[in-house]
Amino acid sequence: MRLGGIFLLVALGSFTAYYIYEPIPEEIEERWKLMLTNSFFRTLSHLADFSELVGLKDYMGVMYFITLVEGVVPVSDERVQVTEETFDGVDVVLYQPKQLGSDSELRRAVIYLHGGGWCLGSSRMSPYDLLAREMVTELNAVVLSVEYRLAPAHHFPVPYEDVYRVVKHFLQRGVLAQYSVDPGRIAVSGDSAGGNLAAAVSQQLQQEPVQQVQLKAQALLYPVLQALDLNTPSYQQNRDMPILPRTLMVRFWSEYFTSDKAFFRAMMANAHNSPESASLLKFVNWSAFLPESYHRKYNYSAPAVVHGVGGEGAGMDGPSRSITDPRASPLLVPDATLRSLPKAYVLTCEYDVLRDDGMMYVTRLRGAGVEVTHEHYDTGFHGALMFTVWPTDFLIARRMTDNYVQWLKENL
Ligand SMILES: *[C@@H]1O[C@H](CO)[C@@H](O)[C@H](O)[C@H]1NC(C)=O
Ligand SMILES: *[C@@H]1O[C@H](CO)[C@@H](O)[C@H](O)[C@H]1NC(C)=O
């Protein structure tokens, strides 16, 4: 019996070690911590797959647990006043500096859009809550964290439109005055899918003919920027990298547009482009837009163009149409649209499927004459900035946050 117990323990231990161990590149700091952290994500993902398979709850419904685990109720503290408001029908969490004496100076503002693949995440998660407070105190800024609605319950363009409505509402002179915000010092920012929304909003806003107040800056943290080519060198290199393996990113993309699994399968095979998107492939040509050192080892071949892709939702209103929409894929606009964009900060990570999305945008923005600060983290992985809370706190998250806030300090 005792021997049996020991055997069981050893077997369990080996299984656990085998399960947790993953080949993570040597240069990534705190590798074991990352493996452990990622084993939580992988386990949840397996459970989510299983749950969907047996019809208990859909995949994203289970993955949403991540959001709940880190959930907080944002409350005021001695330096930051926090209120929950509704801007044009959309929930926002508003962080304001507490006034000190007769401080009548106008303040900066940051509109922040959380990540989570348009399907997960919330302003009310501790890493986002902490980041917002830090921006308030470091920048003496008002931070508006937008609680946009999520896919798959609300497919594109609902999450985008929620964000756009909030931004339009906030950028009215009367509203800005109410919060003592300087109309000349407002930035939009976000990480991952939030970076996608931030880039899209920046583009659309400057095309509004009657928009008086414009953004001063956009800060995009490992943003998602295009859905046409899901086999860029970074997608290939980082296929199984924590925290965002390629399968999960493809899943986010497909769920953003449709719940039709045929589209997910087409995207997995990178065979989801239709004749409608074919003419836009030139905007995501990584052979042309990536620095030489990043595409040298890979041979460019354009994604396949397939007729009638996208299952039942195919056609003018289906997902094949949505992937061509720059409000979903901001990389797909011509240079003329990029030219008048506000100055940009783009953060990319080496070990991230989305690295090349960010890098291509940097090349294209610079080519169009936009001022860009590009910070590339050679040892960075996707989502790193969010790992600021014990026990999943990483040194790199601290460095990233400091550099990002410093850029805002100097440029906003
Ligand atoms: C991509 O760029 C390369 C040159 O860098 C060019 O030869 C190729 O035709 C381009 N392909 C597309 C689809 O734009
Ligand atoms: C790219 O093409 C060259 C020449 O055809 C070939 O030698 C090389 O193995 C290819 N590389 C990859 C990564 O497929």
pLDDT tens for each residue of 331-346: 999 999 999 999 999 9
**Ligand 1, residues 290, 299, 300: which to mutate, most atoms within 8 A of Cβ?**
300
Average pLDDT over residues 119-143: 97
- Where does ligand 1 bind, in terms of residues with CB under 6 Å? 281-282, 285, 287-288, 300, 302
**pLDDT single digits (tens) 102-118:** 567 899 999 999 999 99
Q: Which atom of ligand 1 is nearest to the CA of 288?
A: 5
Q: Which ligand is nearest to the CA of 290?
A: 1
Mean pLDDT computed over every residue of the chain: 93
**Ligand 2, residues 236, 286, 298, 299: which to mutate, most atoms within 8 A of Cβ?**
299
Beta strands in 290-361 (DSSP E): 343-351
Measuring CA to CA, how many Å separate 144 from each of 87, 119, 305?
10, 20, 41
Q: Which residues are catalytic?
A: 192, 352, 382
Provide the residue type at 385 as one letter: L
Domains of the chain, with CATH numbers?
66-99+106-227+335-411 (3.40.50.1820)
Backbone angles phi, psi at 50, to 5 degrees: -65, -45
**pLDDT single digits (tens) 295-326:** 999 999 999 998 876 554 444 458 888 999 99
Residue 81 pLDDT: 97
Residue 19 predicted with pLDDT over 80: no
The whole-model pTM stands at: 0.94
Q: Which atom of ligand 1 is nearest to the CA of 282?
A: 14
Q: Compute, in angstroms, the gap from residue 196 CA to the centroid of ligand 1.
A: 24
What gap in Å lies between CA 354 and CA 253, rounded to an integer?
12
Residue 310 pLDDT: 53
**pLDDT single digits (tens) 208-246:** 988 999 999 999 999 999 999 999 999 999 999 999 999
Triad 383, 384, 388: Cα angle to 5°: 115
Q: Which atom of ligand 2 is nearest to the CA of 297?
A: 13
What gap in Å lies between CA 194 and CA 290, rounded to an integer?
23
Provide the residue type at 194 as one letter: G
Is residue 306 within 8 A of residue 321, CB to CB? The reply is no
**pLDDT single digits (tens) 242-299:** 999 999 999 999 999 999 999 999 999 999 999 989 999 999 999 999 999 999 999 9
The DSSP element (H or E) to which 372 belongs, if any, is strand 372-381
Q: From 325, 337, 328, select the one nearest 277 (Cα to Cα).
A: 325
**pLDDT single digits (tens) 27-65:** 999 988 999 899 889 999 999 999 999 999 999 999 999
What gap in Å lies between CA 44 and CA 54, rounded to an integer?
15
What gap in Å lies between CA 161 and CA 58, rounded to an integer?
24
Strand pairing category for 90-97 and 80-87: antiparallel
Q: Which ligand is nearest to the CA of 273?
A: 1
